[in-house]
Structure 1
Amino acid sequence: MQTPKVIKTVPDPDSPQNLNVRHANQQVISCVVPAYNEHDNLQILLPKLQAALGALSPTWEVVVVDDGSRDKTVELMQTWCQIPGFRLIELSRNFGKEAALTAGLQASQGDVVILMDADLQHSPDLLQAMLARWEQGVDMVYAVRQNRDDEGVRKRLGAKMFYALLHSDSRVTVPPNAGDFRLMDRAVVDALMKLPERNRFMKGLYAWVGFRSEPIEYTPDARASGQSSFNARSLLRLAIAGLTSFTTWPLRMVSIVGLVVSLAAFLYGLFIFTKHMFYDDPVRGWPTIVTILLFFSGVNLLSLGVVGEYIARIYEEVKNRPLFVVRSSLGRVRRAGVEGPEFTNHKSQESNADEHTSQ
């Protein structure tokens, strides 16, 4: 009985099938833009994205996620969605930016996905440089602010303190001065979509999934119109979500404070006992007792509050509610050979919408 011969085939290293080469002009590019009351800014941003993406690839899409806007953002996007390449994901209410980003990532169909804000602080001119890094094999390219000179002193100190606390007890390094403006390969997006948590701190999740990542520096432009919906309260809520999602140091801090206070109370009790026994000093002062009781009560309430934050996160997770609810979706991916009208300003969009309604 003859032993069958094993024929080994050596792949051709020059064959395109064996080269892990990325070409943006041969891939679908998705741009996800969360929007909350961004009607005026979208009028300026959408034509810029149309020109920028059209120059990079014949197949692209702009996915605008309306996060419960109260202005005419939805009406504007209903008109733009007549153009191949523009899509609208309308959420049933305001679920927050983290949920809107997740909705956009879930709806995106691109081989490479770009996240950017609608306020024009993230310039479309940077997309080409990001795609160049992606073509070289980088899975995630995130934009990093060169400085924070445009922010107040309190906000800069708060950001520095937040990242210091976040990195003090976390195995994940979240790049400081990096936001949601980034490019991600489809593999990164698929990994993010597998994360089930509902209290989402996206900056931490980007870092947690890993992959080959590189920063690219930029200077954010001034906001074109309106005011940011992120106030001090929103930033504080986001910071608490980040700290409770990626660190346990608040719980450890409570334990340390409890140990220190207990030790201090023991030493103070020993001091009073010594004075009374050896120096015949009478135990006096109900104000001292009241002050100590109030101090301990404050520490107990603070400890309960910290533990309560973690319990509240657990409560939100076990309810297993959906992260967002989609009210409607419009539009489609722009593909090579599919032409459509190009809108350059809102007046032409409104007129076309009127004609469409009259028909």
Structure 2
Amino acid sequence: MLISIVIPVYKSSATLLEIAQRTACVFDGLDEYDYEIVFVNDSPFWSATREALTNLAASDPLVTAVELTKNFGQQPATLCGIDYARGDYIVTIDDDLQHAPEDIPLLLAEASHDAVIARFRVKRHSPIKRLVSKIKGYFDTIIVGKPPSLSLSSFRLIKAPIAKFMLKRRTPYPFIPALLFDITDDVVNVDAEHRSREDGSSHYSLIHMIKVFSNLLINNSSLLLRMVGFVGFSVAFMSFVYAFVIASRAIFLDIPVAGWPSMFTAILFFGGMILLSLGIVGEYLIRIIATTEHRPKYYVRTVLGVGRAERYDEN
């Protein structure tokens, strides 16, 4: 049985050889499994990364190095690696060794499920990143349909048919958990240790995290549009109540109506109706966009090692 290890790479070089060596040691002790490693270079103009991957692909017959044309982000790069993977199961892992290759057998032990995600009880991230991750986790439950008890991470095992189904979703702003839960609910956690970075500092800045968060909200949900519609409806309702109060005071208490309350009421009403209309129109637009959007998630410049053409020849 073949296991494909997919590793998106961004401005890393010192850890790549160690990842390959430690992965080889892990599978030396797993006689029932063969493996391949698919590196995806998401920093093509970072010369140290390119050189390291070129050397690995040339020296190790189990390594494929895919180079993208520019930085597309971790999610598209991971899906690119899945596209080039040939295994029966696909394991995605980070390039900084915070996910230890030695923990891959923990995922394989639960391989009867469609997907297995590593859960880290203690995460070695900055406080800001942990806070953003916690907020995003709340929205993951609301938007993606993730069970509240389930933890997400980029260290995961996915059955190949499920992973290939994810590639059929044509969106330039993919979010892998959303794709996964759209296909299956058979997802479980296994506990693993979150290690310290072996080299350098995290390239996953606050801006990158906000970008992923916005992709979750905008491209995988109509929550924001529905919120706009709800606010519009609420404002319009408040204007009706306010108009009723003004009219009641004028009729029953003989209090004269000044010009500004009626003007204010009209502004509230029409403003609310405009927002409500935008929400309704936006609801249609997001469904149209989701149906017709066909822009590629990434573009591949070169493939070194076990290339895609060879795989198709085998089929």
Aligned to 1:345: none
Identify if the C-alpha distance between structure 1 residues 295 and 329 changes in structure 2 by more than 3 Å, giving closer, same or farther.
Answer: farther
SS in 2 for 1:77: helix
Aligned pair 1:116/2:93, yes or no? yes
* Aligned match for 1:216, one of 170, 174, 190: 190
Aligned to 1:195: 169
Unaligned runs of 5+ in 1: 1-26, 334-359
Aligned to 1:142: 117
The correspondence of residues 48-127 of structure 1 with structure 2, limited to 5 A, is: 48-57=22-31, 59-71=34-46, 72-82=48-58, 83-127=60-104
Aligned to 1:16: none
Matches of 1:79 and 1:184, distance apart in 2: 28
Aligned pair 1:267/2:267, yes or no? no
Q: Residue 170 of structure 2 contacts residue 296 of structure 2 at CA under 8 Å; is this kept in 1?
A: no
Unaligned runs of 5+ in 2: 308-315
Identify if the C-alpha distance between structure 1 residues 330 and 169 changes in structure 2 by more than 3 Å, giving closer, same or farther.
Answer: closer
The structural deviation recorded for 1:139 is: 3.5
Name which of structure 1's ranges 216-225 and 53-62 shifts more when overlaid on structure 2: 53-62
Q: Residue 41 of structure 1 contacts residue 224 of structure 1 at CA under 8 Å; is this kept in 2?
A: yes
Aligned to 2:312: none
> What RMSD over aligned residues (CA atoms) do the two structures have, in Å?
3.5
SS in 2 for 1:90: strand
Aligned pair 1:132/2:106, yes or no? no
Which residue identity does 1:116 align to in structure 2?
I
Which string of whole-angstrom CA distances, capped at 9 and with x for unpartnered residues, describes residues 222-277 of structure 1? 12223333223322232232234444333332332222211111111222233344
Identify if the C-alpha distance between structure 1 residues 246 and 272 changes in structure 2 by more than 3 Å, giving closer, same or farther.
Answer: same
Matches of 1:150 and 1:319, distance apart in 2: 35
* Aligned match for 2:19, one of 24, 38, 45: 45
Matches of 2:20 and 2:140, distance apart in 1: 36
SS in 1 for 2:214: helix
SS in 2 for 1:48: helix
Identify if the C-alpha distance between structure 1 residues 301 and 147 changes in structure 2 by more than 3 Å, giving closer, same or farther.
Answer: farther
Matches of 1:221 and 1:138, distance apart in 2: 25
Q: Residue 37 of structure 1 contacts residue 70 of structure 1 at CA under 8 Å; is this kept in 2?
A: no
Task: Tell me which structure has the larger Cα radius of gyration.
Answer: 1
- For this pair of structures, how many residues does the alignment match? 304
Aligned to 1:32: 6
- Give the structure-1-normalised TM-score: 0.71
Identify if the C-alpha distance between structure 1 residues 251 and 129 changes in structure 2 by more than 3 Å, giving closer, same or farther.
Answer: same
Aligned to 1:206: 180
Matches of 2:182 and 2:274, distance apart in 1: 33
